[in-house]
Amino acid sequence: MTNIFNYVDRKSPVHAMTGASKLVCLLLWSFGAMSSFDPRFLFALFVLALVLFKISKIRVADIRFMLWFTFVFCILNNLLIFLFSPMHGTEVYGACHEIFHIAGRYTVTQEQLLYHLNVFLKYAATIPIVLLFVTTTDPSEFASSLNRIGVNYKIAYSVALALRYIPDIQREYHDITLSLQARGVEMSKKASLGARLKTASGTLVPLILSSMDRIEVISNAMELRSFGKNKKRTWYRYRKFTAWDFGAMLLGLAVLLISVVLTAFVNHGRYFNPFV
């Protein structure tokens, strides 16, 4: 079964950090990466993300599906950008260095290639950190750490339930597809793409019904235990902030500050322009 978003339990410094500190680092890192179009900075973030993956002991096999999905989405995004705005790079950088002409208004320029490189590097710098956050953060511990920094425990618990429910949906979908195949429904590569899509859409009804049943069971269990009666609650998974947590938040802050410095003082804008 393919895991899309799932916590991977490993022994590493990244796993030992609190969910709140990883969330703060993720937000600061994302703001810094998305606000800059400097390929040098984005490539450095990509390399640093690979180092963090090495430290966290998360293997490529654990996130293979999401990596392929991100790669395909990035390629499609770049193709659509070139299809609808083939000269956007020349407008951004204020220059035009033609490499070769294709047809009509479609001309490959150095400026356009640099813009596409920046788009690709933005994905490469941001998506790995998002995957690292998801795969190394225990939902229960994340809820307790959110509550500790001031988030209402009802909201924190809702976030934890959502994160814990994603693997359950995956398992339920896997079980439904296996039962359909046991009844003779072809869902392998032997069937046509249209037939597989039609069969996959047919699994939505039982998946929704089973999800509604599970929601009702959880709601009844929480109501029987008087969830939400008190203003505060205790947590089984509670973790104190350590040096790794403060280091992660400082790292995220450093990424954001470097992005601001590059934008305001070095590049005098969001774009690094080597053509001027």
Cα–Cα–Cα angle for 237, 243, 247, rounded to 5 degrees = 110
Chain length of the chain: 276
Rounded alpha-carbon distances, angstroms, from residue 103 to 75, 86, 108, 230: 21, 11, 10, 68
The DSSP bridge pattern shows strands 98-103 and 106-109 to be: antiparallel
Query: What's the rounded Cα separation, in Å, for the pair 216 and 224?
Result: 12
How far is it, in rounded angstroms, from Cα 82 to Cα 169?
A: 37
Q: Are 175 and 54 in contact (CB under 8 A)?
A: no
pLDDT tens, the chain, 276 aa long: 455 567 888 899 999 998 889 989 999 999 999 999 999 999 999 999 999 999 999 988 888 888 898 899 999 999 999 999 999 999 999 999 999 999 989 999 999 999 999 999 999 999 999 999 989 988 878 888 778 778 888 888 888 887 777 777 777 877 887 887 777 776 666 667 677 777 777 777 787 788 788 878 888 888 887 788 888 877 777 778 889 999 999 999 999 999 999 999 999 999 999 988
- Could you tell me the two tokens for 8? 């991977």
Q: If you ran DSSP here, which 8-state letter would residue 57 be given?
A: T
User: Cα(15)–Cα(182) distance, rounded to whole angstroms?
Assistant: 39
Angle, CA 118 vertex, CA 116 and CA 123 arms, to 5°: 100
Question: Which residue in 76, 72, 56 sits closest to 64, CA to CA?
Answer: 72
Place of tokens 């951004």: 92
What separation in angstroms does the CA of 191 have from each of 28, 89, 175, 196?
45, 42, 20, 6
Among candidates 162, 147, 121, which has minimal Cα distance to 5?
A: 162
